[in-house]
Amino acid sequence: MALSVDSALYRCQRLAAEGSAWTQSESTPLLSSVRKRLRYNLNKWRIVFPNNKRLQKDWEKVSRFYSGNGIQTTKYTLLSFLPRNLFEQFHRLANLYFFFLVILNWFPQVEVFHREITMLPLGVVLLVIMVKDGTEDCRRYRFDKAINSSKTKAYDEKESDYVEKCWKDVRVGDFVQLQCNEIIPADILLLYSSDQNGICHLETANLDGETNLKQRQVVKGFSNQNTPFDPEFFQNTIVCEKPNNDLNKFKGYVEQPDHKRIGFGSESLLLRGCTIRNTEIAIGIVIYAGHETKAMLNNSGPRYKRSKIERRMNIDIFFCVGLLFIMCLIGALGHGIWNGNFSERPPYEVPDMNGNYLSSALAGFYMFLTMIILLQILIPISLYVSIEFVKLGQVFLIHSDIDLYDEDVDLPIQCRALNITEDLGQIQYIFSDKTGTLTENKMVFRRCTVDGNEFSHQENAKRLETHKELDSDDEDWARYQHFALPVIKIEKPDTLKQKNTKPMRRCQSARARFQGHARKKSLGRCDSLQSQVAFSSTIEKDVTPDNRLLMKVRNAALQIESSASFPSAKDTYSSTSVMDFFLALAICNTVVVSTATEPRQRVTVPPLMKPSGISLERIHQLLQRLKLANLGQSFSLTQSSSDLGASVNAKNSKENPAATDSYNKDDISTHTCSNSADGDYDGDGRADAVPRKDSIEIGGASLDEVFGSVSQGHLQPEFCYEAESPDEAALVHAARAYSFTLMSRTPEQVTVRLPQGTLLAFDILCTLGFDSVRKRMSVVVRHPFTNEIIVYTKGADSVIMDLLEDPAKADINMGRKLIRIHSKTQKHLDWYAQSGLRTLCIAKKVLSDDDFQKWANFRREAEAAIDNRDELLMDTAQHLETKLTLLGATGIEDRLQDGVPDTIAALREAGIQIWVLTGDKQETAVNIAYSCKLLDQKDTVFTINTENKETCESLLDLTLEDVRKNSNVERTKRKFFGISLSSSLPASVAPSPDIGLVVDGKTLNIIFQGKLEEKFLELTKYCRSILCCRATPLQKSMVVKLVRRQLKVMTLSIGDGANDVSMIQAADVGIGISGQEGMQAVMASDFAISRFKHLKKLLLVHGHWCYSRLAKMVIYFFYKNVSYVSLLFWYQFFCGFSGTTMIDYWQMIFFNLFFTSIPPILFGILDKDISAETLLSLPELYKSGQNSETYKLSTFIIAVLDAFYQSLICFFVPYLTYKDSDTDVFTFGTPINTISLFTILLHQALEMKTWTHFHWITMIGSVLLYFVFSTIYNAVCVVCNEPTSPYWIMEDQLSDPSFYLVCFITPVVALLPRYLVLAVRGTFRVSPILKAQQLDKLPKEQRDREIQRWRSRKQGIPTTSVVSPSDEVDRTNSNLHVSQFLGQAAVTPHGNNDTQGLSTPEMNHLRDWMLNGEGNSSTRRCAGEETTAANFLARPCPGQDLLEPTRIPSPGLFASQLTSDNAEELTPGSHRRSVSSVTL
């Protein structure tokens, strides 16, 4: 029994010790066998007994150890709220400090104020935080109550039926019945689905934000859906892993009474919080409940981080503590010295009851403690509360910014971390993902290569150039249909009924909510708006076919029809490659097919058609003849697993069906893993659904007639393809453009319509999903005609190309053909990558029945395993995916997001260094970097690819040496992005070109494992851009941590996928993009945006404002408290250091609590030192935050010194005014208090750059509040502070003209130095911030001209025009020379392009001519016939180092080789104007 709590093992052992208490029922032999064998690892597994009559007693004994389904996200209860909240608040040292002072003030020897009064400031602070925490917890309580009270149907063994229960009453082991549109209450193992194929569809928007549907499948062996599911007949025990937070990982098995195990995985788990879609009824057993569900384990809420200002502030508070200690020490010494001057005991000293006086030492110690109480407000306790309010206000303003709102997806910016807003203004390094972050993650099919022939799809490229994202209607779709193959005319049948199926669609809201949800049964077709299907925008769906490839498809279809002569082997290979290529695109995926009218209604039966093409039997015969003529298409597998072995035997015993019959089969899950016989199959039920083969009329028209005639009124259903990734959707849409249409998909069958209108229904034997380790996916199908078992595989070219069959093992002719196809395809892949396209290779493999049967057995054993299940499944998958036959490759464009180049250029101008960490191909990442201006055309790019530590270290040393030696720089000490660096670091890099660095994942491994981090970081300091390609999620986080810890810089990570979570969490600020890869990155982030371009305003504007506001506010608080406390300190020199005050204690408390608290808070929320337009136009202003210019040690010291000066003026001007008068203590203190208030508020006014009505109201209101309170308090307080009394003091002062004069002159004298500094600071040295503030005061047109002049002076030279990426891709030749910058190691293009005069169509034709090998080879690979010079764009041979020390003997030879052989090799399809390679 696997228990989910920490004491699971202990409890289970205690349970086992109570052997007599376990009364075994006669119907539970499994429990007895389990206890005898003791073969379950209690620390690793969970055992679930079903809650039915047969196993009721066992369920009761085990289920009590598991968590209930009720959730509690609140922190407190009514009884624990007060003590726990106080306990948490006293974790703050400042609160403990003031609590210590409160206790200290209760001792009579050191009492300064009334005991109750001393508690007031601390009490107010604690109360405010307590109210805030209580309000938040109350809101969580109401949310929990709504969730726990939600209803669902659970099986009740007493009533033998499903009854309504609250979610909180559901327990592990209960059977739960779910209906369409119902939210899942717990993590449930799916045992039954009303879907005829045992499929349940989920929408996981509540969990990960993805709106596309996910498929979940009934546990194998329980998929016979012809009979209703009866929980009483379920006698199995479920063994699975313990609760964890991995949403994509789940493993276990069902053990039957006969000890037979049936494995299951995450494909059978329904997660809590997801919504049932397109499924009338689903039944499952609860595996995890409540806080043990995966959704709750992932719900950590907003994270708390300490900002850089907060860390700096803590240091300054310690400084204030030291200052307080010095003041108190002076007071104690002064008290001793003062008393020592008396020859006799002063009359105010009172002896104790024994007549003894305090010793001087003890009296000094008491005075020390008294001074701590008196000067306590030197430590700004109100600062913490004020910062909380300011940050809440800043978050509200950021959230309300309309420029950060994405109207397309209806998402504003989300601020998940509320306490690091100011860190947005201090970022020095940005680490960004590429796919989905810099790009749109909208995959558009651009090019493909089939059988070694490249097809450019120029018509599709022209469409994409002029395409705009608009809602397409039927006319828009029809505009592109004339490019596709004509489809057979379809006659709509009179009736088409499907048993047990009802049209269903999702409810209108794409994001179901927890609150108040009720059980909703599907009511058929709703009148709601059509839901948008993921990855289905017009730009992704519409693909214009290439005419040449379209002709090849037509010829392949005609060749099948032709029976006059036996086709040649060459034609056979070509035709089958084309057909297999598009079949693989349509089949090798997990796409769910739905219709346009019912976008959430999954298509399981293709529309009935009346084809007018050739007969299916005819095609069957021709395919058999093609099979015999095709050589090298059959492969053997020496050893091979999924529980599909039984289905193979079952299918072999049947006759090969015709295509129209193959899709007529109902689900065949009874053959997969259960022992059900074929006789249970209801054949009559199928007859009503789809007519049999003999009921379909097949015309005798030839393919020439089929392709030549297009029916005007043909009926072609509009399909919607719901894919889990945009790549899959793009490939399926591309296959459909060539009339290989995916018609329907079930777990057992996939149906494809061929160009001639024929329907082919492939039996799916196994699907090996994509994972980041294999980097590929495969589907094993049985061909309906040839009865062959075929493995279709698609994946990354870096993996697939290494899994191809060795051409040397084939015959000579076939081997040559394979070598040619492999080399040409690799050349095309390199060109695709250089053009910034994402590449995928398509391959196939034919298996014999025996080989597949062996493999299926191994797969079945691996799926049923618990220990090392993932490793076993990986081994079986890798064993199958070998000796593949290459069919072709595709190039898919991931388009850049709008505004990415401008954003990156602005961030770089702001002094931020940008790194791109991606798992994509190196060539693709480099070209995207050029497109988004991460790399410039004039940059020198170093690429380091190696797997050897010595080579890597030598490359780093050589590159560092050359950069330091040849870059013309000043060796002066400077700050690099806010970090003080030694003189060895270059101060400027002009006129040498900027430097970029590209490394791959293998090189990063060597750097981390070989202790080369310091050299790597030293090299990156010289680089303006760094690209880390083929990086794993772990490597991404390691890079971020390395830079943050070693360089001591502020870092920001931004990504959109689950693979970016570790990188986001490792940075100081993590930003998630709510894109098409789900919400995992958003849930782990501090801020969430929908577009990369929003980062520009978020950092340059809001980041600058938040830092500037908060930094000035913190400095102001320290100044305010030091200035006010110093007044009390100066008074001690005139009162014998007795610890008394000249200001009433209520005035002192209210001074910080009310009179001067609101203006700085409003300043911290609303102040704008520079307008947003100027900050966006001048990104370099952001550097002030990077360098912490506003808040650093020097500004803090200046503020403290200024506070001391102002306090001296505010104290001694009234002192000199009232000197030698009969003024009492409070009459002397009231003008000082009033003057101090005016001075502090006017000081705040000088710092304010933005004045609104709120500012005027708070400033004037603070003064009025002070006078109103003082007047009323002095009028009613007669004996408030004996022996002195503040009675009528303010009234008397207001009638004295000297009071007004003092209150006017003193603040002017106190603020005069600061005012003079502010007035003349722009005379000698104008800072960029001050100049920008002056520009803001100019009229708009004049300001724009001044900003343009500023930018022109900054650049020094006119900005050169940037060649567009499309033009650079078309360049095919360039004059190269060896740059003196790096000697033999650098290659920089120079001069004009030879093809500059060609027009765009001529360029495209020339590029396609080169790609298809009709001219001289422009890119030679070391795996091919000839050897090329070493460069980083050429692909190295397997097992060969990219850089070899003997490749380039001398600079002269290197230059000659480049000029003669490789001049063309470096430039076609590349954005580069400069390419560098480092050699040893």
Instruction: Indicate the Cα dihedral angle 100, 105, 109, 112, nearest 10°.
Output: 130
Cα separation, 822 vs 820, in Å, equals 5
As a whole number of Å, the end-to-end CA separation of the chain is 61
Instruction: Tell me the residue type at 1471.
Output: H
Take residue 1292 and report the two structure tokens written for it.
């008397």
Cα–Cα distance for residue pair 546/582, rounded to 1 Å: 14
Q: Which of 63, 61, 342, 71 is nearest to 185 (CA)?
A: 71
Tokens standing for residue 884: 């593949």
Dist CA 160 CA 1389 (whole Å): 81
361-382 CB burial, b ≥16 within 10 A, e <16: eebbebbbbbbbbbbbbbbbbb
C-beta separation of 758 from 630 below 8 A:
no
Cβ–Cβ < 8 Å for 1368, 930: yes
Give me the residue label for tokens 């995966």.
294
The residues, ordered by sequence, that sit 6+ positions from 1286 with a Cβ below 8 Å of its Cβ are 1144, 1147, 1226, 1230, 1273, 1274, 1277, 1280
Reduce the DSSP state of residue 1026 to 3 states and report it: strand
DSSP assignment letter at 218: P
Helix (H) or strand (E) holding 265: strand 261-265
Residue 560: is it exposed, middle or buried by C-beta count within 10 angstroms (0-12/13-18/19+)?
buried
Any catalytic annotation for residue 433? yes
Which DSSP letter does residue 411 get? Answer: B
The crossing angle, in degrees rounded to 10, of helices 812-834 and 922-931 is 30
Give the span between the Cα atoms of 510 and 73, in whole angstroms.
25
Cis peptide, bond prior to residue 1286, ω within 30 of zero? no
User: In angstroms, rounded to a whole number, what is the distance separating the alpha carbons of residues 1336 and 445?
Assistant: 48
Long-range contacts of 162-170 (CB under 8 A, 24+ apart): 167/69, 167/70, 168/68, 168/69, 168/70, 168/71, 169/69, 170/68, 170/69, 170/286, 170/289
DSSP one-letter code for 884: B
- CA distance linking residue 710 with residue 928, whole number of Å: 42
Residue 372 near residue 104, CB atoms below 8 Å = yes
Start-end of H helices in 1383-1425: 1400-1411
Q: What amino acid occupies position 1162?
A: L
- Beta-bridged to residue 157, according to DSSP, are none
As separate numbers, helices (DSSP H) first and strands (DSSP E) second, the chain gives: 50, 38
Inter-axis angle of helices 308-340 and 1193-1217, to 10 degrees? Answer: 40
Query: H or E stretch including 46?
Result: strand 45-48
Pairing label, strands 237-241, 45-48: antiparallel
Of 58, 174, 187, 433, which is the active-site residue?
433
Position of tokens 């295509």? Answer: 659
Radius of gyration, CA atoms only, the chain: 39
Per this entry, what is the length of the chain?
Answer: 1480
Q: Which residues are catalytically annotated? A: 433
